[in-house]
Amino acid sequence: MFKRSVTFETRDDMDLPAQAAVWGRLHEFGDMAWLPWQGKVIYRKDNRVPVSTKGHGLNDYLGYRSNPTLALITDRATEERLEEDNSDIARCLAARVPSALFELQGYGFTNDGSFFTGWPVIGFQNRIQASGTCISSPEDGLLSTCTWDPRIRSPFFYSSSFSIALSKAPSFIAEMQKLRDLKPCAFCGLDATLGVLLRYVKASSAYLGKSEDSIDFDFTYYRSYTQGEPRANSDVVDELEQLALCKYGAVPHWGKNRNFAFDGVIAKYPKAAEFLKVKARYDPDGIFSSEWSDQVLGAKGSSNMAEKSCGIEGICICSDDSHCAPEKGYFCHPGKVFTDARVCSTRRTFGDDLLKEQ
């Protein structure tokens, strides 16, 4: 039982590559949320302090609270309308709202469990680390509910995550900024979900642990309820993921990724052979294995499946137009910054884009 002192501070993202290299060592529980389109970073200064420090703060994260059901349905309907209209201007205007609202409400923190009066918020570890009261909210006949309640058509999104060695992360961020600068509005979809979360992960001696201190990048973005439906500016996120995985040797989060991210992933773990030996010894009959785990661990088959529209769904990296959605104007093209990437895009060439925007 110890106390923590938390302060959120928003800055320009010009020096983000340099800050990312040191922030995790400056603040024990520090992280950052990057809003690439707005060119801002929300830095979290979070450190343990003496138990005698005054404060009884609480972290009740806004996204994990119960909300009026009608508001959740309306939010999703608005997202779908923005996607159908395919207007980057409207999408970017809407993207400013979530971060502004979260900032006004102290990101869900309160100084005394009831009211937010300003930074820093100081409280015991269990009240600062844990968050979200939705699970304990009362049943009220679905007048209010959790965002993830499957009984309603609420906001629906995809979350993908991967870790890059701390020594390589600044270069990856710089390339991400380069892609952002080519067409900033393509990043509004990330800003709308409170940006890219950067968390620090220590190296581990575990067989499938991180072999180096790393930064975990969390991307959250809109997803259609309809399978195989393209999403606006999907090529940007796809290029970033391939840049991280293929050029910077990122390892995917085991539970937050699409199929293509796991293709050949086991080779990225130096102690994978030792893990597979232990797995075979404790589960010789494969009771705890599945077709999926066999594919991911390289035991049998591949998680990468080349079929129609597989590039749209992320179950392959496209190598043919049929892997995208040519009937809807999406074709397989190289990335703009990482040209080894192959992404489903409506843009024939980037030069054409520049001419249109001018």
Report pLDDT digits (tens) over 20-74: 999 999 999 999 999 999 999 999 999 999 999 999 999 999 989 999 999 999 9
Q: How would residue 1 be classed by pLDDT, with cut points 50, 70 and 90?
A: confident
- pTM equals 0.92
Q: How many CA within 13 A on the CB side of residue 151?
A: 8
Asked if 9 and 26 touch (Cβ cutoff 8 Å), the reply is: no
What is the CATH number for 11? 3.30.70.2520
Q: What integer pLDDT is reported at residue 301 of this predicted model?
A: 82
Q: What integer pLDDT is reported at residue 358 of this predicted model?
A: 38
Q: What integer pLDDT is reported at residue 299 of this predicted model?
A: 82
Q: How would residue 89 be classed by pLDDT, with cut points 50, 70 and 90?
A: very high
Same domain, 292 and 199: no
238: closest CA among 157, 185, 302, 314?
A: 314
Amino acid at residue number 233: N
Same domain, 184 and 312: no
Residue 107 belongs to some domain of the structure: yes
Give the separation between CA 239 and CA 249, rounded to whole angstroms.
14
Q: What integer pLDDT is reported at residue 130 of this predicted model?
A: 82
Same domain, 196 and 277: no
Asked if 28 and 47 touch (Cβ cutoff 8 Å), the reply is: yes
Predicted confidence (pLDDT) at residue 117 exceeds the cutoff of 90:
yes
Per-residue model confidence as pLDDT tens digits over 319-341: 999 999 999 999 999 999 999 99
What number is the average pLDDT over the span 335-349? 88
Q: What integer pLDDT is reported at residue 348 of this predicted model?
A: 52
- Better-scored residue on pLDDT, 131 or 174: 174
Angle formed at CA 91 by CA 88 and CA 96, multiple of 5 degrees: 125
Asked if 320 and 342 touch (Cβ cutoff 8 Å), the reply is: no
* Segments forming the whole domain that contains residue 23: 3-252
Which of 252, 279, 314 is a domain's end point? 252
Angle formed at CA 36 by CA 236 and CA 133, multiple of 5 degrees: 100
Mean pLDDT of the chain: 93
Which of 225, 252, 279 is a domain's end point? 252
Same domain, 285 and 335: yes
Q: What integer pLDDT is reported at residue 176 of this predicted model?
A: 98
Same domain, 184 and 317: no
| Structural domain count, the chain | 2
Asked if 73 and 65 touch (Cβ cutoff 8 Å), the reply is: no
